[in-house]
């Protein structure tokens, strides 16, 4: 359900961005603005600026910028809807939902109230478990035996559920309260003989690991036995506040370390997370007794652009890695990194570091297997590439994996790698995957510039002289029949409204530039980002409905009404790789816009630089370096 734009404007106007950000970042007054160390990247000199007059933040180091809602989304990993609700709650405002019926609104309010109540019950149980840990010599000795300090136990809120069937009755006087069963703390079963309901504690004689959401609220528990009993680990069941397919243990505690380290390490157990945090790897999280899902990966990429999965080197570890590969592939864009770390079968991360040291493990992480390599390894498993049948089997295995990748350079390169191993060219492999009949000509028959190797002109499949779709040097590009957009900003609007999913593949610098465009263009891109966070990518037909009544609706309607607009225009039917052409067109356009933006920013700094302002000079040099990088990229692509 969408949130009225008028409410969002009112909320942002009422919220004090300095106060909101000041809860997470130490800010100091510097002229008209406040400055601090950026929470989104490591730095020693403050480059993070918060403007009370504009109610806006901007980091001159990493380029992240936005309002109070954007900060909460970026810093806590919340969705747009979650960030709005959190901010509204802080200011005593009720979030309206303009397309919801009264019954839906009532149900939503009831659900929010229940979630708040359940987290309160779980927090109360967590406090009780922590008190029990202090009183249990046996549990404390167990943690010390695993090498954990009291400091790290406190950081993660570890506790102990003592032996006995109804210990929580001393914590909750009304032990029959349905909330105890609904939160997963208590199990209810009918008595075999009397049929009466029996109630008892789910967690007994276990070390307790509170599972927190990205806001730090306790939403469930993991319990580990102190001995060799089975099951070794026990999780809370699925509840209105907890879903193991979406949550990751330790993400709340690791969120700042992820930005400092530059990557997240995903392990398979709670103890790995806690032990690695103590041993110098606080950027570690764990799945909750389930395979890594696309939802897990998507959540991780809210905090970092690099993910390293750590698995045991045995067969079970390889199977878990294979499932993680499936979950990661849809998000493996050109600006993200996914790697797979396989430890020796006799070690887990904790034991490896204690045996070989922190530096050795760090090297192991740095040398982890890239996603591109692991994809090929997974596809070729059991295939004899020395035989035609084995290569055909490999091609069949690789197709569904390759199809999961988003469009971009990585996908194109992997197509070439797979084709080489299959001993076909990329066109032939694509035809095989699409089920098309084989082309009449084999790879290598033709040389460059449309000539056959015997010097005769090359013909296409219709018997006409072959012509490359890419203009040769000194050859004027052929007209495409598409109208040029009125401006680069309009062009960006057309591409991103036609292909909204492309927004997630852009970098922070691109997002900041588009959202800060003057007038209706900037407002439209801010709105588009909020729509994506709330609803995911949508086709233009659905976006146009949501745009009704927005101040930038006329702009969007005008641009999309042009005869060259829409998905079909952005991806001609004759293209073999329409998604890749779109990505390249958008990248080239944004690079040109970035060049214009950087030149404008440099011009604004000239006066301050000429007066000896050291900060302005430093910023000017950074912009100049970025301008050179863009020029080199453009030259390489030419």
In the structure encoding, which two tokens stand for residue 490, read together? 């309009």
Residue 465, beta-bridge partner list: 459
Q: Is residue 475 part of a domain?
A: no
- Give the integer Cα–Cα distance in Å for 91 and 181: 33
Query: Residue 206's domain spans which residues?
Result: 102-242
In the structure encoding, which two tokens stand for residue 253, read together? 């505690």
Average pLDDT score over residue span 387-409:
93
Q: Is the pLDDT of residue 9 over 80?
A: no
If asked whether residues 334 and 406 sit together in one domain, one would say no
Whether the CB-CB separation of 407 and 580 falls below 8 Å is answered with yes
Average pLDDT score over residue span 496-512:
84
Tell me, what DSSP letter sits at residue 231?
S
| Res. 390 pLDDT band, cuts 50 70 90 | very high
In the structure encoding, which two tokens stand for residue 346, read together? 């006799």
If asked whether residues 146 and 223 sit together in one domain, one would say yes
- Give the integer Cα–Cα distance in Å for 292 and 287: 6
Q: Is residue 408 part of a domain?
A: yes
pLDDT of residue 191: 73
Spell out the residues 6+ positions from residue 510 whose beta carbon is closer than 8 angstroms to its own: 590, 594
pLDDT of residue 161: 95
pLDDT of residue 259: 77
Residue 233, beta-bridge partner list: 224
In the structure encoding, which two tokens stand for residue 439, read together? 């082309």
Question: pTM, whole model, 2 decimals?
Answer: 0.59
- Give the integer Cα–Cα distance in Å for 66 and 455: 59
Which of 220, 242, 264 terminates a domain? The answer is: 242
- Quick: pLDDT tens for 265-290: 999 888 889 999 999 999 999 998 78
Pinpoint the alpha helices (H) of 50-101.
68-76, 80-90
Q: pLDDT exceeding 90 applies to what percent of the chain?
A: 33
Q: Which residue has the tokens 């449309």?
A: 450
Q: Is the pLDDT of residue 446 over 60?
A: no
If asked whether residues 318 and 219 sit together in one domain, one would say no
If asked whether residues 317 and 350 sit together in one domain, one would say yes
Q: Is residue 460 part of a domain?
A: no
- Quick: pLDDT tens for 39-79: 888 788 888 998 877 788 888 888 888 888 888 888 877 77
Cα separation values, 70 from 80, 138, 379, 527, Å: 8, 46, 40, 12
Q: Is residue 469 part of a domain?
A: no
| Res. 481 pLDDT band, cuts 50 70 90 | very low
Q: Is the pLDDT of residue 533 over 80?
A: no
If asked whether residues 283 and 416 sit together in one domain, one would say no
If asked whether residues 178 and 291 sit together in one domain, one would say no
- Determine how many CB atoms are found less than 10 A away from the CB of residue 473: 5
- What average pLDDT does the structure give for the chain? 82
- CATH code of the domain in which 601 resides: 1.10.860
If asked whether residues 161 and 265 sit together in one domain, one would say no
Tell me, what DSSP letter sits at residue 500?
G
Phi, psi of 281 (to 5 degrees): -125, 70
| Res. 404 pLDDT band, cuts 50 70 90 | very high
If asked whether residues 328 and 373 sit together in one domain, one would say yes
- CATH code of the domain in which 110 resides: 3.90.980.10
Domains contained in the chain, number: 5
| Res. 197 pLDDT band, cuts 50 70 90 | confident
Secondary structure, 3-state, 114-181: HHHHHHHHHHHHHHHHHHHHHHCHHHHHHHHHCCCCHHHHHHCCCEEECCCCCHHHHCCCCCCCHHHH
pLDDT of residue 187: 93
In the structure encoding, which two tokens stand for residue 561, read together? 């009404």
Strands 306-312 and 337-343: parallel
């Amino acid at each position: 359900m969408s949130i009225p734009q008028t409410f969002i404007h009112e909320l942002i106007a009422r919220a004090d961005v300095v106060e909101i950000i000041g809860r997470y970042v130490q800010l100091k007054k510097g002229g008209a603005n406040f400055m601090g160390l950026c929470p989104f990247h490591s730095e020693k000199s403050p480059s993070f600026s918060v403007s009370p007059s504009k109610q806006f933040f901007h980091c001159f180091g990493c380029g992240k910028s936005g309002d109070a809602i954007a900060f909460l989304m970026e810093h806590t990993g919340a969705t747009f809807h979650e960030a709005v609700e959190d901010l509204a709650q802080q200011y005593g405002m009720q979030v309206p939902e303009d397309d919801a019926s009264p019954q839906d609104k009532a149900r939503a309010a009831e659900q929010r109230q229940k979630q708040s109540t359940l987290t309160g019950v779980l927090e109360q149980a967590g406090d009780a478990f922590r008190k029990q840990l202090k009183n249990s010599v046996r549990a404390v000795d167990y943690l010390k035996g695993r090498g954990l300090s009291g400091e790290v136990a406190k950081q993660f809120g570890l506790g102990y559920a003592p032996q006995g069937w109804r210990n929580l009755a001393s914590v909750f006087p009304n032990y029959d309260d349905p909330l105890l069963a609904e939160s997963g703390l208590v199990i209810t079963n009918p008595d075999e003989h009397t049929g009466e309901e029996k109630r008892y504690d789910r967690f007994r004689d276990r070390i307790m690991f509170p599972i927190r959401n990205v806001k730090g609220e306790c939403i469930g528990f993991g319990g580990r036995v102190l001995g060799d009993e089975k099951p070794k680990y026990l999780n809370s069941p699925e509840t209105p506040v907890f879903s193991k397919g979406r949550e990751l243990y330790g993400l709340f505690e690791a969120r700042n370390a992820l930005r400092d380290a530059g990557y997240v390490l995903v392990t398979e157990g709670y103890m790995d997370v806690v032990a690695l945090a103590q041993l110098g790897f606080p950027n570690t999280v764990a799945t909750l007794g389930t395979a890594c899902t696309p939802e897990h990966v998507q959540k991780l990429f809210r905090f970092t652009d690099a993910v390293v999965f750590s698995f045991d080197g045995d067969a079970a570890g390889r199977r878990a890695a294979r499932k993680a590969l499936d979950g990661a592939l849809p998000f493996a864009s050109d600006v993200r990194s996914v790697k797979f770390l396989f430890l020796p079968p006799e070690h887990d991360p904790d034991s490896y570091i204690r045996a070989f040291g922190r530096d050795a493990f760090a090297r192991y992480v740095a040398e982890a297997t890239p996603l591109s390599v692991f994809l090929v390894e997974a596809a070729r498993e059991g295939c004899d590439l020395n035989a035609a049948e084995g290569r055909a089997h490999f091609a069949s295995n690789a197709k569904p994996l390759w199809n999961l990748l988003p469009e971009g350079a990585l996908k194109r390169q992997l197509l070439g790698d797979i084709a080489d191993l299959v001993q076909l060219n990329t066109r032939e492999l694509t035809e095989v995957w699409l089920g098309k009949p084989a082309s009449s000509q084999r790879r290598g028959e033709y040389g460059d510039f449309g000539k056959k190797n015997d010097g005769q002109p090359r013909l296409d499949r219709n018997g006409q002289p072959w012509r490359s779709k890419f203009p040769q040097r000194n050859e004027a590009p052929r007209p495409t029949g598409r109208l040029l957009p009125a401006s680069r900003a309009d062009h960006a609007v057309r591409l991103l409204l036609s292909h909204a999913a492309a927004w997630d593949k852009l970098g922070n610098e691109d997002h900041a530039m588009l959202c800060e465009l003057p007038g209706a263009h900037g407002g439209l891109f801010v709105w588009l980002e909020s729509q994506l966070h709330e609803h995911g990518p949508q086709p233009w037909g659905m976006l146009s409905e949501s745009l009704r009544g927005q101040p930038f609706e006329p702009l969007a309607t005008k641009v999309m009404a042009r005869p060259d607009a829409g998905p079909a225009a952005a991806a001609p039917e004759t293209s073999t790789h329409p998604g890749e052409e779109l990505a390249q067109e958008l990248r080239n356009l944004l690079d040109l816009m970035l060049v214009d933006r950087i030149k404008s920013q440099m011009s604004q700094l000239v006066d301050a630089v000429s007066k000896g302002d050291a900060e302005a000079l430093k910023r000017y040099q950074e912009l100049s370096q970025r301008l050179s990088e863009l020029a080199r990229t453009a030259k390489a692509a030419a």
